[in-house]
Amino acid sequence: MNTKKLIEDDLKHIWHPCTQMKDHEILPIIPIKRGQGAYLYDFDDNRYIDGVSSWWVNLFGHCNPYINQKIKEQLDTLEHVIFAGFTHEPIIKLSKRLCALAPKGLEKCFYADNGSSAIEVALKMSFQYHKNRGQKRPLFVSLENSYHGETIGALAVGDVKLYKEVFDDILLQTIQAPVPKDQSEESAIKAADGLEQIFKEKADQISAFIIEPLIQCSGGMNMYHPLYITLARKLCDHYDVHLIADEIAVGFGRTGKMFACEYADVSPDFMTLSKGLTGGYLPLSVVLTTQKIYDAFYCDYSEFKAFLHSHSYTGNPLACSAANATLDIFENESILEKNKEKIALIGSKLEQFKTLPNVQKVRQTGMIAAVELDVYPIDFRVNLKIFKYAFQKGVILRPLGNVVYFMPPYVITCKEIETMMDVAYEAIVSLNRL
């Protein structure tokens, strides 16, 4: 296949996400031919370490033989069926497993297609829960610097101006609470005090408080102490406000535990999952919630309290088979235990970045690490420079502004981790020469 022709045809017909398409006048788009393990290969057979897990979704490598096999087996049996009034074995199996893995009390699963859709489901479900009980609570609270997706409801509870500001006029009314500024207990306590002040003033108007537990990924990989989650849970209980845990990016072992909420020993009222749910293979998301919330919608049809939300591909059997295969790998290969060595290596490799004069700070939670650059005067395209440098060295990095982060698939080897992080180090050193 002619790479040049592929690029021409792509740019003629396709509008890519989170992209200023004019950039591709100077930065060629990159056709990828195949993937294997931690690597992606272009049409010239150059290979690149996927340091960002293809937007944080890939857990066990590209073209994982076991996941491939399970999807192929399902393909010969049932590809899809309407999920209103019908069900199938893969989703029943998956739901039982997710409820067993999730924090205590999360016993019901509602499926959607992607992370943003799962957030929409949780917001609507929380609001209607209160309405079914005779209360109108039109407000939602989220953290400053948060990101929960780019559909209208999800965007409204986020706080990254780059995505949100242009749409302010058409968004839901939300309140942003102070976010812990670092990983200290003191910062967690101070932020929780700010949240309580909001609850004191408006709790009877608030349906839910939504957080990304431990790590605000799209918000520059800001990380905070588990104590904040503990305090937030107590405040939500006291003021009768739902707690939504958005574990779309941090779930399935990214923080070192299966779910980030486990660090605080907290059970939210809603937990949203997607990304790694299918190992990076197919779109699928789920909202886990409690029996108490489920019961508020359970009634005779004539009461009109049912939750009327649907997606055409809800509970797709192929996606559920990929998800079950992903959970099989977690169970059969002791992934969380094996990742401890890689987490320690990432931590040790971070030390070299602390010596660089243009590095402001480094941070890590589990398999996610970040290096924040001190860029003065502000170079708002520093991310592009680092991407280009790393790509030429065979590593895919996609910095968030001035934050270089690492979120590789779990199949990455220790040697590949060293290569990935050494290339990032060289890229940062090179900035003064670019």
Bind-site residues: 55, 115-116, 147, 246, 275, 310-312, 398
Phi, psi (rounded to 5 degrees) for 92 = -65, -45
CA atoms of 427 and 420, how far apart (whole Å) = 11
Could you tell me the CA-to-CA distances from 411 to 32, 57, 107 in Å, in that order? 20, 13, 31
H-helix or E-strand containing 394?
A: none
CA atoms of 176 and 195, how far apart (whole Å) = 9
CA atoms of 379 and 381, how far apart (whole Å) = 5
Binding-site residue set for substrate:
55, 147, 275, 310, 398
- Token pair, residue 142, equals 């989220």
Strand 368-373 relative to strand 285-289: parallel, antiparallel, unpaired? unpaired
Binding-site residue set for pyridoxal 5'-phosphate:
115-116, 246, 311-312
CB 328 within 8 Å of CB 93: no
How many beta carbons lie within 10 A of that of residue 388, not counting itself?
15
CA atoms of 29 and 12, how far apart (whole Å) = 12
Amino acid occupying residue 20: Q
